[in-house]
Amino acid sequence: MISFEDVSFTYGQTPVLEGASFAIGDAGLVVLAGETGAGKSTIVRLCHLELWPNRGQIRLWGEVSQPRDERAAARLRRRMGVVPEESRLIERLNIAENIELPMTVTGGRRRERDLMELIEWIGLGGREHEHPSTLTAAETRRAALARALIVSPELLLLDEPLSGLDPGSAADLLSLLLDLQTIGRPIVLASRDPDLTDDLRRRASARVLTLASGRVVEDAP
Amino acid sequence: MTLPSRALPAEGLPVVVGVAAGMAAIAVLCLLVGLALRDMGTRWRLSLGAVMLVELPGEGNTAAAHDLLAAAPDVRGARTIEAARLSALLGIEDSGIEGLALPALIEVDAPADARAAVEAMLAAEIPGIRVTAPSPALQLGAHRLAMAGWIGLALAALSLATVGAVVYAATGRMLLAARETLSTLRLIGAEARDLRQRIVQPWVVGASLGAAVGGGISALLADLITQATTMIWLDKEVSLGVALAATVATGLVAWAAARLAWASADA
């Protein structure tokens, strides 16, 4: 489904990813582990075609991502769901509209009942008409997760989904993520939290790609 | 993409609609006045240029003068002003001075700048003849009146440029305010061309709507003035045509300005 072939990326003159090669199959949870600056978020953004490699190539569903091909990138992005670290909900829209946004963009239709079920599932039932500024950090993360899931993505990308959350909220969100693992779609999760990585390895048989200084130093199933 | 309008609000839209209405009204009025003046000036210039007056020393020379004029290269036609018509023109009918000796006059259809040549040619055969043509100042006045049409066109272009500048500024402001929203929309798979269309559309619709109202009001005003005065003016169809053209031109200018703002922000 996704393959990185000798991929390197630099921000200006600073290399953040060097010669990364790995493949992700059609299912399972893959954790990108490592310290801050190891290159985890860069891999998530490269997978999501927000960035383009300086060297090497990335294949998504057999298609080589072409730099600057915005139309193709948009088409591929619609097959993914992404939860960026900063969530990026639109304040002018209410929670339901934010969650439904990918459907609006793709021109697809979702039954109202499905939307409400999703909102209930993430624990924001009854608050769908509120705006993002009324949500806590954990709730914002949940809303972003629902927005990623509304299109039934073929690939789910999560960048530090539990960072900055209190232990209780983190545990609740983690149980949602573990539920998601059962949908049979690949999930790529970037985390700098070693405890979370161990937890996911133990409870969800997650494959862990460990990064250090822009290199994949360990690929442990 | 049927995005809620709140997601990407066009906050300066009322201003753009108002400016487009005002500028289109000015543009239509400038064009109509310009067209009318140009038309008036052209007609005046043509009529001034067409008529030259030949004053003969005696009636006996009329036939000879006609023969000479018929052979002159610049003369398109000539006709004798009958004594009765001349009396009527001078207002001496029934004034008790009917017996007054009037000069014999021939109206000549020829360009004003041919006056000297015509006079020289006639004087060579008929001594004492006089040829008069409209003064150069009148000719110049008529020419300048005709040129006023171009000033109207320039003012109309300036009005459209103002609409373009306002739309450019409003779109730029909108793009700045919506930077994060646009980034999020791209993140979830929106295509740049859809977003561009979504950004450009309200300005084009708003400016066109404003221009249609402003231009329409101007056209109706011009029609009312035409009916209320005896001035040479324009047909109703011409006024409405100009208003329609101003609406279309405003829409095109708004489209170009908004696209330019998008391209600048994207770059």
**pLDDT digit string, tens, across residues B56-71:** 887 678 888 899 888 8
Q: Which residues contact A57 (CB under 8 A, 6 or more apart)?
A: A5, A6, A7, A64, A65
A97 and B4: CB-CB below 8 Å? yes
The pLDDT assigned to B91 comes to 67
A113: closest CA of chain B, how far (Å): 20
The pLDDT assigned to B201 comes to 93
Residues of A in contact with B1 (CB under 8 A): 104-105, 107
Residues of B in contact with A71 (CB under 8 A): 191, 193
Report the residue of A104, A131, A157 to disrupt the B interface, i.e. the one with the largest count of B CBs within 10 Å: A104
B3: closest CA of chain A, how far (Å): 6
Cβ neighbours, 10 Å, residue A126: 8
A102 and B189: CB-CB below 8 Å? yes
Assigned token pair, A133? 């500024």
Each residue's pLDDT tens digit, B118-130 = 888 888 888 888 8
Alpha helix positions (H), chain B = 13-50, 62-71, 83-90, 115-125, 136-177, 179-187, 192-228, 236-266
Q: Is A134 within 8 Å of A184 (Cβ atoms)?
A: no
The pLDDT assigned to A30 comes to 93
What mean pLDDT is reported for chain B? 85
Assigned token pair, A221? 């199933």
Q: Is the CB of residue A152 less than 8 Å away from at least one CB of chain B? A: no
**Residue B231 pLDDT > 90:** no
% pLDDT > 70, chain B = 89
Each residue's pLDDT tens digit, B48-58 = 666 788 888 87
Confidence of residue B20 (pLDDT cuts 50, 70, 90): very high
A74 and B2: CB-CB below 8 Å? no
- Model-level pTM? 0.73
% pLDDT > 90, chain B = 34
For residue A104, give the nearest of B2, B186, B192 by CB distance. Answer: B2
For residue B189, give the nearest of A78, A90, A92 by CB distance. Answer: A78
B191 and A71: CB-CB below 8 Å? yes
Each residue's pLDDT tens digit, A142-187 = 999 999 999 889 999 999 988 888 888 888 888 888 888 777 789 9
Residue B173, SS3? Answer: helix
**Parallel, antiparallel, or unpaired: how do β-strands B51-56 and B130-132 relate?**
antiparallel
Of residues B142, B143, B136, B132, the one with CA closest to residue B110:
B132
A74 and B7: CB-CB below 8 Å? no
How far out from the chain centre does Cα B45 lie?
15
Quote the CA–CA distance of B78 and B51 in Å, as a whole number.
Answer: 9
Each residue's pLDDT tens digit, A7-45 = 999 988 889 999 999 999 887 889 999 998 889 999 999
Residue A49, SS3? Answer: coil
**Residue B115 pLDDT > 70:** yes
The pLDDT assigned to B71 comes to 87
Q: Is A52 within 8 Å of A3 (Cβ atoms)?
A: no
ipTM rounded to 2 decimals = 0.85
Each residue's pLDDT tens digit, B199-215 = 999 999 999 999 999 99
> Per-residue pLDDT averaged across B235-258, rounded?
91
Counted across chains A and B, CB pairs separated by less than 8 A come out at: 60
- CA-nearest residue to B188 within chain A is A102
**Lowest mean pLDDT segment, chosen from A44-58, A163-177, B94-108:** B94-108
A107 and B7: CB-CB below 8 Å? no
Report the residue of B1, B187, B194, B198 to disrupt the A interface, i.e. the one with the largest count of A CBs within 10 Å: B187
Q: Which residues contact B140 (CB under 8 A, 6 or more apart)?
A: none
Assigned token pair, A111? 């039954």
Cα radius of gyration rounded to whole Å, chain A: 17
The pLDDT assigned to B176 comes to 92
Residues of B near A (Cβ–Cβ under 8 Å) read 1-4, 6-7, 9, 180-181, 183-194
For residue B184, give the nearest of A74, A90, A106 by CB distance. Answer: A90
Q: Which residue has the higher pLDDT, A201 or B266?
A: A201
Which residues, listed in sequence order, are joined to residue A9 by a DSSP beta bridge?
A17
Alpha helix positions (H), chain A = 40-47, 70-77, 95-106, 112-121, 137-149, 167-180, 194-204
**Parallel, antiparallel, or unpaired: how do β-strands A29-33 and A187-191 relate?**
parallel
Report how far apart, in Å, the C-alpha atoms of A19 and of each of A9, A40, A197 are.
Answer: 9, 14, 23
